Amino acid sequence: MVEKDNRLPLYYQLMDIIIGKIDSGELKDHDKLPSERELCEMYNVSRTTVRQTMQELEKEKLIYKQHGKGTFISPKVINQSLLKFYSFTEEMKKIHKIPSSKVLAFEEIESDAKIAKKMEISEGMKVYKITRLRFADDEPMMYEISYLPLSRFPNLNGNDLEVVPMYTLFRDKYQAIITKATERFSAIPTSKKEAILLNIHEGEPSLLINRISFERDAVIEYTVTIARGDKFTYSVELN
């Protein structure tokens, strides 16, 4: 509760309470906060204190307001460190979100010149082309197209990828271990097709991520990802 004799300002204490509820999961993305009057009564503080608290939370992008509807908890932005190899599934679990995937297309194709160059294989060699939509708590987060060498992953089943994470299949079914990966990031406007799939507006900023994963010296994955710009940030430590 807010303590009147505490040296911390009242608005700061109220902020701390609300942030604590967000961090604990008691308040979830898009949950509606009580009204100013209700917060005043709940915590025995003035409207001035509540308004200052809301201003600070909004400044920190922890809440957002909708005219005539109220104040709501902002969706969490996922900050991904680039210091080591990571998987979407494991990163979502770390922030207590439930990851899932929907396979939109699963094909066996002959690699064209571009794919062959990226994967360091001969043009015409067969690869899987796997198109997926990645979710966190049933909210679309990423649109991905992955290319895998058929020779390294024989009898791969598209249905498995909706149940088992790709990298888990690599490890458990094929004993394939990724030893390194490279990624390239670009900011792009979201296309109409991508916007529909990701449930955002056409033209909103997204991140285009090109990942090439290696098993020792052999490329075993080339993935092109469109990640929602409002959901992800990426950071790297400079020494």
CA gap 43, 122 in Å, rounded: 68
**Strand, helix or coil at 3?**
coil
CA gap 43, 133 in Å, rounded: 43
CA gap 207, 184 in Å, rounded: 10
37 close to 28: Cβ distance less than 8 angstroms: no
Q: How many CB atoms lie within 10 A of CB 28?
A: 12
The token pair that represents 169 in the structure block: 């299949």
**Strand, helix or coil at 93?**
helix
7 close to 13: Cβ distance less than 8 angstroms: no
E strand map for 51-172: 63-66, 70-73, 78-81, 99-110, 126-136, 139-149
CA gap 86, 144 in Å, rounded: 15
pLDDT tens string 84-100: 667 788 878 877 788 89
CA angle, 224 as apex, 218 and 230 as ends, to 5°?
Answer: 140
Residue 86 exposure: Cα atoms within 13 Å on the Cβ side:
16
Q: Indicate the helix (H) or strand (E) that contains 56.
A: helix 47-59
Q: Chain centroid to CA 191: how far?
A: 18
Mean pLDDT of the chain: 89
**Strand, helix or coil at 80?**
strand
Residue in 97, 65, 64 with CA at minimum distance from that of residue 78: 97
pLDDT tens string 109-146: 999 999 999 999 999 999 999 999 999 889 999 999 99
pLDDT tens string 171-224: 999 999 999 999 998 999 999 999 999 999 999 999 999 999 999 999 999 999
pLDDT category at 80 given cuts 50, 70, 90 is low
Residue in 24, 50, 212, 192 with CA at minimum distance from that of residue 118: 212
Global pTM value: 0.71
pLDDT tens string 14-58: 999 999 888 787 888 889 999 999 999 999 999 999 999 999 999
